[in-house]
Amino acid sequence: MAKNYTSKKRTIEDLELIATKIREDIIKSLEKAGSGHSAGPLGLADIFTALYFDIMKHDPKDPTWDQRDIFILSNGHCAPVLYTTLAHAGYFEIAELSTLRKFGSRLQGHPERERLPGIETTSGPLGCGLSQAAGMALAMKINKDYHRWIYCTLGDGEQNEGNVWEAAMLIAKYNLHNVIAITDRNNIQIDGTTEHVMPLEDLRAKWESFGWHVIDINGNDIDSIIDATAMARSIVEKPVMILAHTIPGKGVDFMEGDYHWHGIPVGIEDVAGAPPKNEQAKSALHQLRTLEGKIRSEHE
């Protein structure tokens, strides 16, 4: 049997430092690529750190281990955070992150199954991930495979897509409670705020009306993420949606909460409230390295 990667216990300080390193490498890879999404990946770094370094059963040395938990990235444009997390977890060399979005690279703008170890599904058209999770969970139920979990992240703007709600109904109908969905509730999408583009609230009530148990959390608090997934695994009467309220662009003050950074990297545009484009990467990395030092000093 392959080793459970999460058997290595880490402190919250350890996890916060990993999340900060992941954010730094997201900035570096996006700057080198000259294209890609910034705000969502930075906001999701705490969730991905908690999943891959504490919560999920997985083994980078045996990516197809038949006892692993499954992770599905439905909001595929947030690929930079998935790639960077996988690299830090040991699925491939961190140096390869510099090839993001380059011609012939394994790290394209949306993840492609079988191109990289650890990628379970191909992500592209929004709204498909929860349906993929539904199919896998139904197969597990038929096969009496009751010891694995499927984690699926969705964007909030992605929930404008009707097929999300078709999957939600099917998962609830068959009580596929081994699906734990996580909404990145960062309130932005490429054209503006979610409530301006296509209002979602009351999002909690919507999911509850589809037969899901809903947990609201601070999606940038690693303790809360770990606690919420533990609670989700204890609920067997219905599937669980975790509404993770995150700050888009987390850790970089000129990006935080600004939808303009949804789909662009540092260094290509002058954005109101941000440093000149030739200073953006330097400023972002300085802020993240300062945060890293603060985390270390607080736990000494």
Domain spans of the chain, in order of start:
5-298
Contact status, residue 19 vs residue 222, Cβ threshold 8 Å: yes
Distances (CA, A) of 67 to 91, 100, 192, 280: 17, 30, 41, 43
pLDDT digit string (tens) for 145-191?
A: 988 999 999 999 999 999 999 999 999 999 999 999 999 999 999 99
Q: Write out the E strands in 50-147.
A: 70-73
Region 128-140: what's the mean pLDDT? 96
For residue 63, is pLDDT > 60?
A: yes
pLDDT digit string (tens) for 202-227?
A: 999 999 999 999 999 999 999 999 99
Please give the helix or strand (H or E) that residue 117 lies within, else none: none
Q: Binning pLDDT at 50, 70 and 90, where does residue 8 land?
A: low
For residue 46, is pLDDT > 50?
A: yes
For residue 114, is pLDDT > 80?
A: yes
pLDDT, averaged across the chain = 95
Residue 178, number of CB atoms within 10 A of its CB = 25
Region 236-261: what's the mean pLDDT? 97
Fold of 5-298: Rossmann fold (3.40.50)
